[in-house]
């Protein structure tokens, strides 16, 4: 099987690198190493933090993008997963830094390198989402409780940190499944979403609207077992990474690892890789050849 190189549109780091604390050299190192794993385009993802640090890290990532070589996965922009979320579904995020989703508050961190924003649509002022979309930013509902997703482009890690499916009234997860215009991120690592829920999404959603993500953490593909993330101490037990209270903090698998998991379950479709290119209107940076066990045989870059 041959596919384009992968797009990581939602991941917080790997190889011991955390995008919320990374230097330019850290980002460049990560982008070089991750290309060797078949990932050709990345959207470094920032969790909730202070306004000052978010601005600083966006500029770090943007600067790194100007220093890349052909041996690195292309940095296509920043995914901001933080500060405009609902405290009821905060997950591992530190809610003391949350702000009301308004144009005025967005201008505190506004940068043309922000390409995706995860937010709680039920908390947004009426002009906020239109303002973001006028800037060409993909708007995704996540860490939220609202069921009205009509103005969104997609949903962030569907099922996780959102109001669940309900047979009475609207919910975020239900709206994600029944709206054929919405793209749906899914963490198919075998930890964040059960196989039954995966099957429900794969059977319900049009296959061209499913986006595989890793949502992986700095400990991924590293020897790190304990680390600070989003203001909490995180513990990686070899399978999952959680806070002391047991809150999942993200996955510990890269996208090629997840594709292998889905392949073994006979749930993978090549279309899922193409969907990310269509979503962002991007051109593939090369291709991957996979063997029958969904191991990468070779990687070809442009």
Mean pLDDT of 222-241: 96
pLDDT attached to residue 208: 98
* pLDDT for res 195: 96
- Residue-wise pLDDT for 22-75, tens only, equals 999 999 999 999 999 999 999 999 999 999 999 999 999 999 999 999 999 999
- The pLDDT of residue 302 is above 90: no
Predicted local distance difference test score (pLDDT) of residue 285:
85
Cα–Cα distances in angstroms (integers) from residue 151 to residues 179, 198, 294, in the given order = 11, 25, 36
- Cα atoms in the 13 Å half-sphere on the side-chain side of 176: 32
Check: pTM over 0.95? Answer yes or no.
yes
Closest CA relative to residue 255, chosen from 174, 185, 173: 185
Those residues with Cβ within 8 angstroms of residue 140's Cβ, 6 or more apart along the chain or in another chain: 116, 117, 118, 119, 152, 153, 154, 155, 156, 183, 185
Percent of the chain's residues with pLDDT above 90: 99
pLDDT digits 0-9 by tens, 247-287: 999 999 999 999 999 999 999 999 999 999 999 999 998 99
Q: How far is CA 93 from the centre of its chain?
A: 14
Domain spanning 2-301: CATH 3.20.20.140? yes
Ordered by start, the domain boundaries in the chain are 2-301
**How high does pLDDT run on average in the chain?**
97
């Amino acid at each position: 099987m041959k596919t384009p190189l992968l797009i990581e549109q939602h991941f917080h780091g790997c190889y011991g690198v955390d995008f919320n604390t990374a230097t330019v050299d850290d980002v460049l190192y990560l982008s070089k190493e991750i290309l060797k794993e078949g990932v050709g385009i990345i959207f470094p993802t920032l969790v909730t933090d202070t306004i000052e640090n978010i601005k600083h890290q966006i500029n770090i990532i943007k600067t790194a993008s100007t220093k890349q070589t052909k041996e690195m996965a292309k940095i296509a922009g920043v995914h901001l997963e933080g500060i405009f979320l609902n405290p009821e579904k905060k997950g591992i995020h530190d809610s003391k830094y949350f702000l009301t989703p308004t144009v005025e508050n967005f201008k505190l961190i506004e940068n043309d390198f922000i390409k995706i924003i995860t937010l709680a649509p039920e908390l947004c002022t009426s002009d906020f989402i239109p303002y973001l979309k006028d800037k060409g930013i993909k708007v995704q509902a996540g860490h939220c409780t609202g069921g009205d997703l009509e103005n969104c482009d997609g949903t962030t890690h569907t099922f996780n940190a959102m109001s669940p499916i309900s047979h009475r009234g609207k919910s975020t997860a239900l709206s994600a499944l029944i709206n054929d215009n919405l793209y749906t991120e899914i963490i198919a690592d075998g930890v964040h979403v059960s196989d039954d829920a995966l099957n429900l999404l794969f059977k319900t959603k049009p296959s061209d609207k499913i986006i595989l993500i890793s949502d992986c953490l700095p400990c991924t593909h590293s020897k790190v077992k304990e680390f600070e993330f989003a203001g909490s101490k995180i513990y990686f037990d070899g399978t999952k990474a959680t806070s002391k209270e047991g809150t999942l903090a993200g996955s510990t698998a890269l996208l090629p690892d997840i594709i292998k998991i889905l392949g073994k379950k006979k749930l993978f479709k090549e279309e899922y890789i193409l969907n990310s290119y269509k979503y962002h209107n991007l051109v593939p940076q090369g291709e991957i050849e996979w063997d029958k066990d969904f191991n990468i045989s070779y990687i070809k870059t442009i």
